[in-house]
Structure 1
Amino acid sequence: MNPSDGYRVEQDLLGERWVPDAAYYGVQTLRALENFSISGIPLQHFPDLVVALAMVKKACARANRDLLKLDPEQADAILLACDEIIDGRLHDAFCVDMIQGGAGTSTNMNANEVIANRALELLGRARGEYARLHPNIHVNMSQSTNDVYPTALRLALIFGLRRLRAETGALRDALADKSAAFRSITKMGRTQLQDAVPMTLGQEFGAFATNIGEEVARLDEVSALLSEINLGGTAIGTGLNSEPEYRACAIRHLRQIAGVPVCAAADLVEATSDMGAFVMLSGLLKRTAIKLSKICNDLRLLSSGPRCGFNEINLPERQPGSSIMPGKVNPVIPEAVNQVAFSVIGNDTAVTMAAEAGQLQLNAMEPLIGFKLLESIGYLTAAMASLRRDCITGITANAAVCRGHLEQSVGLVTALNPYLGYARTSEIARRALESGRSVAELVLEAEWMTAEALQEALRPEAMTGQGAAQEGGGAGG
């Protein structure tokens, strides 16, 4: 082959390689494409990460221009190229696999080469004319993969968490709406899948809302933790090859470009090697996934049947449930969310092991950490949106079924403890279980309460505590 065949020659420390003329990437990206055919998921699959890389490169170029290390023409071309990527262009050129050796060097070089070659075009030069503007010398000036990659990853995670937080709040609100709608529907509460004491369907959905709502504040907390970055630390946190003023200047520009209140880590050496914030984020995502999965388990139980199960609520019918059983409709949305939760829990294990595998001044497993965190955030965001939109908002209650279960339950005797005492209520429970008759019928037959007193004791407000909750207010955990 020769250059006229649609290829250009590029060189790195390992020698010369032919790179397609049409490619914005260069020789080091080409080697990464050959070496890392692992997950089949390239950087472009996560636009937040691509945009974050361009934002970091833009901030660094501005800082180097301010410090007179980068000439204005080169800086302007780099900045324009970064703006195009931030606006969504050239993302298909970010093609290296998310799983890669080298602690993210291939990701950083993919960004450097794409930005350099696009900047060269803006300068009226051909791609690959690196004598005028070089990926390492100019685009990567005052930087290392070891401060660029984790800084960009933290930004990308913050961008993703913003959307996840919005969906978490929307799901909480949808559950709260159902809680209000179902406030007057009494039912039997259950512990260990056995009848326990009366409650309302509204209280059950209110607990779901509170449970999910707790995650909103936690997401804000972990976003603040991710805002501490090691940009300016270069290779291991000592700032080698950067000016003393560079770090503060670059971070100031990044804060303005990204709209995120990033700040410098107090100890750059520690920040370069520590994965603690990522582990905390992963743990939070796992916690959220577990909560979602538990709620979906409950929704599937409460809607089970419809004739031979709980049948206390109806989930929206989304699609036929069987290729052989006519009329069967499955709870497909909660089932899908359960599977998302299992994936997030598995990702947390991968993040945990990768964080533990760090050695000395750097963690070479950071690409896996980033991949799994971005994946989990994307999965949870989509799952919450689907659960809210395709399931929660369309749930209806079978009030008569709920009331029937309550009236037939032996658990109803617990509400009579203050009136009859434990011994008598235990006797009523035993008789009800043996005979299949209702608690109320047996109490009246024994003449232990009048009909009026029994009716008062079994009022929904008296059994469920809603009256007391209204008078005293409520508090969430």
Structure 2
Amino acid sequence: MNEAVRMERDTFGEIAVPADRLWGAQTERSLQNFRISTEKQSPELIHALAIVKRAAAAVNQSLGVLADDKAHAIIAAADEIIAGKHPREFPLAVWQTGSGTQTNMNLNEVIANRASELMGGERGEARKVHPNDDVNRGQSSNDVFPTAMHIAAAYAIVNHLLPALRTLRATLDAKSKAFADIVKIGRTHLQDATPLTLGQEFSGYVAQLDQGIRHVESALPHLYELALGGTAVGTGLNAHPAFAVRVADEIGRLTKLPFVTAPSKFEVMAAADALVFAHGALKTVAASLMKIANDVRWLASGPRCGLGELSIPENEPGSSIMPGKVNPTQSEAVTMLCCQVFGNDVAVNVGGASGNFELNVFRPMIAHNVLQSVRLLADGAQSFNDHCAVGIEPNRSRIDLLLNESLMLVTALNPHIGYDKSAQIAKKAHKEGTTLKAAALALGYLTEAEFDAWVRPEQMIGTR
């Protein structure tokens, strides 16, 4: 059975478009010309583009360059997309023109056809709203797409990533306080070191997240600068002189974020430095999360033959062959997604560095990777919090056993008998499989009373 089609036209001529679809000729050509992989433009980016089109219509109406009836219809159509309607109308691949022109036209065509229907007209060549002259008025793909990238990234960071990081930070901070009096052995180079408290160890994780949150927040001001109004090359050709400032204000009103018009449209269109910088902060957060997740799974290793200092929630069976096995799956998921963020950072860096003259043409790839990284980190932090961090508990008996067996407690003797004699005690105890006290007494370097007074782990942990 043949699919019903309608004929639409662009500057290349006629092309058949599925009759039940809202997109038009340029979207259909892109579908035919870029059958590459399965990655599609993200819902976050489509949402941001719809915000751009809504804001532009409202401002153009207020400036008297767009008829009221068309503006109202465009705004209504854009609102439907913002509300999550028509998701099947945005099928284009990430791997397309580097300016995102086809995706911009996808939005223009869908909104034009839907606006025409809302005005009592039809979709297709007889529509009442033109995708270029009306929906794209005063705009170019070259300023629309980078604007949408900034909106999508900033919105996702503020509304998803930062809340998730703050939630995890609060959980780990509560654990740090709860574990403040649990003295354990420290480890450096994967070898025994001097003691600290479990609370101090967790306080390091809290500080990492504090720094990561600050790093991400520091990237927002540049993301709040919008290219819209620069049109083709940054000069603002064909846009009303007041358009840039007013449309940034309108986008800020719609998103409740402090967007402003970029002071240099040439910078924000020719480069992608704001997103490169932002992704650097995302990479840093990924490095922190990977460290935290790795520490937790190592400290929870066992249950009988590992470090076993922590117990973590048992969420699901861990093996298809070993009965009763439970794995640190949340840590594994987090470490994998952090690897993906590291890879995304390389792609964003290369794309950001590869713009030529007045336009960066790696934008769909940069947007895809930045938004994926934000989504992975936000979801990963929340999942790790909900299914692992909140349930972390100390294994006191195991912690005490390992603490008292450590040879590095000998460090407490340095101020009393010197480094060399302390080292001899540690080596003798290790070689002969005895305790530090037995080795110290055998060497005659101190008395039992002196050892008991000087080697006290709880006094080796500094200021708490």
TM-score per shorter chain, which class? Answer: over 0.9
Deviation at 1:454, TM superposition (A): 3.8
Opposite residue 334 of structure 1, the aligned amino acid is: S
Which position in structure 2 is the counterpart of 1:159? 155
CA distance in structure 1 between the aligned counterparts of 2:20 and 2:316, rounded to whole angstroms: 45
Opposite residue 120 of structure 1, the aligned amino acid is: S
Instruction: Kindly indicate whether residue 79 of structure 2 is the aligned counterpart of residue 83 of structure 1.
Output: yes
TM-score norm. by structure 1 comes to 0.93
Do the aligned partners of 1:415 and 1:463 also contact (CA within 8 Å) in 2? yes
Point out the more displaced range, 315-324 or 164-173.
Answer: 315-324
Do the aligned partners of 1:457 and 1:463 also contact (CA within 8 Å) in 2? no
Instruction: Kindly indicate whether residue 289 of structure 2 is the aligned counterpart of residue 300 of structure 1.
Output: no
CA distance in structure 2 between the aligned counterparts of 1:170 and 1:269, rounded to whole angstroms: 38
The Cα offsets for residues 107-143 of structure 1, whole Å up to 9 and x where unpaired, read as 1011101111111111000111455210011000000
- Give the secondary-structure state (helix, strand or coil) at the position aligned to 1:188: strand
Distance 1:76 1:258, change over 3 A: same
CA distance in structure 1 between the aligned counterparts of 2:76 and 2:439, rounded to whole angstroms: 83
Any residues of structure 2 matched to 1:338-353 within 5 Å, and which?
Answer: 338-353=335-350
Deviation at 1:422, TM superposition (A): 1.8
CA distance in structure 1 between the aligned counterparts of 2:449 and 2:209, rounded to whole angstroms: 41
Q: 1:382 aligns with which of 373, 379, 382?
A: 379
Do the aligned partners of 1:56 and 1:148 also contact (CA within 8 Å) in 2? yes
Opposite residue 59 of structure 1, the aligned amino acid is: A
Which position in structure 2 is the counterpart of 1:55? 51
Instruction: Kindly indicate whether residue 321 of structure 2 is the aligned counterpart of residue 287 of structure 1.
Output: no
Do the aligned partners of 1:120 and 1:129 also contact (CA within 8 Å) in 2? no
Q: 1:21 aligns with which of 19, 23, 38?
A: 19
Q: 1:114 aligns with which of 110, 115, 118?
A: 110
The Cα offsets for residues 278-323 of structure 1, whole Å up to 9 and x where unpaired, read as 1111211111111211222212221222222211112211222222
- Give the secondary-structure state (helix, strand or coil) at the position aligned to 1:113: helix
Gaps of 5+ in 1: 470-477
- Give the secondary-structure state (helix, strand or coil) at the position aligned to 1:244: coil
Do the aligned partners of 1:28 and 1:106 also contact (CA within 8 Å) in 2? yes
Q: 1:6 aligns with which of 4, 7, 13?
A: 4
Opposite residue 48 of structure 1, the aligned amino acid is: E
Which position in structure 1 is the counterpart of 2:209? 212
Which position in structure 1 is the counterpart of 2:100? 104
Opposite residue 262 of structure 1, the aligned amino acid is: F
Instruction: Kindly indicate whether residue 397 of structure 2 is the aligned counterpart of residue 365 of structure 1.
Output: no
Gaps of 5+ in 2: none
Do the aligned partners of 2:21 and 2:89 also contact (CA within 8 Å) in 1? yes
CA distance in structure 2 between the aligned counterparts of 1:396 and 1:247, rounded to whole angstroms: 54
Instruction: Kindly indicate whether residue 36 of structure 2 is the aligned counterpart of residue 38 of structure 1.
Output: yes
CA distance in structure 1 between the aligned counterparts of 2:31 and 2:130, rounded to whole angstroms: 20
CA distance in structure 1 between the aligned counterparts of 2:363 and 2:418, rounded to whole angstroms: 62
Deviation at 1:230, TM superposition (A): 1.2
Which position in structure 1 is the counterpart of 2:200? 203
Point out the more displaced range, 345-354 or 294-303.
Answer: 294-303
Distance 1:456 1:160, change over 3 A: farther
Root mean square deviation of aligned Cα: 1.8
TM-score norm. by structure 2 comes to 0.95
Which position in structure 2 is the counterpart of 1:472? none
The Cα offsets for residues 42-82 of structure 1, whole Å up to 9 and x where unpaired, read as 23xx3321221111111111111112111111111111111
Instruction: Kindly indicate whether residue 253 of structure 2 is the aligned counterpart of residue 270 of structure 1.
Output: no
Do the aligned partners of 1:322 and 1:329 also contact (CA within 8 Å) in 2? yes
Deviation at 1:381, TM superposition (A): 0.9
- Give the secondary-structure state (helix, strand or coil) at the position aligned to 1:464: coil
Opposite residue 319 of structure 2, the aligned amino acid is: S
Aligned sequence identity (%)? 42
Do the aligned partners of 1:78 and 1:119 also contact (CA within 8 Å) in 2? yes
Any residues of structure 2 matched to 1:381-400 within 5 Å, and which?
Answer: 381-400=378-397
Opposite residue 356 of structure 1, the aligned amino acid is: A
Deviation at 1:367, TM superposition (A): 0.6
Deviation at 1:452, TM superposition (A): 5.3
Q: 1:230 aligns with which of 223, 227, 231?
A: 227
Opposite residue 7 of structure 1, the aligned amino acid is: V
Opposite residue 87 of structure 1, the aligned amino acid is: A
Deviation at 1:102, TM superposition (A): 4.3
The Cα offsets for residues 374-429 of structure 1, whole Å up to 9 and x where unpaired, read as 11111111111111111111112111111111111110101222233223212211
Deviation at 1:449, TM superposition (A): 4.9
Opposite residue 210 of structure 1, the aligned amino acid is: A
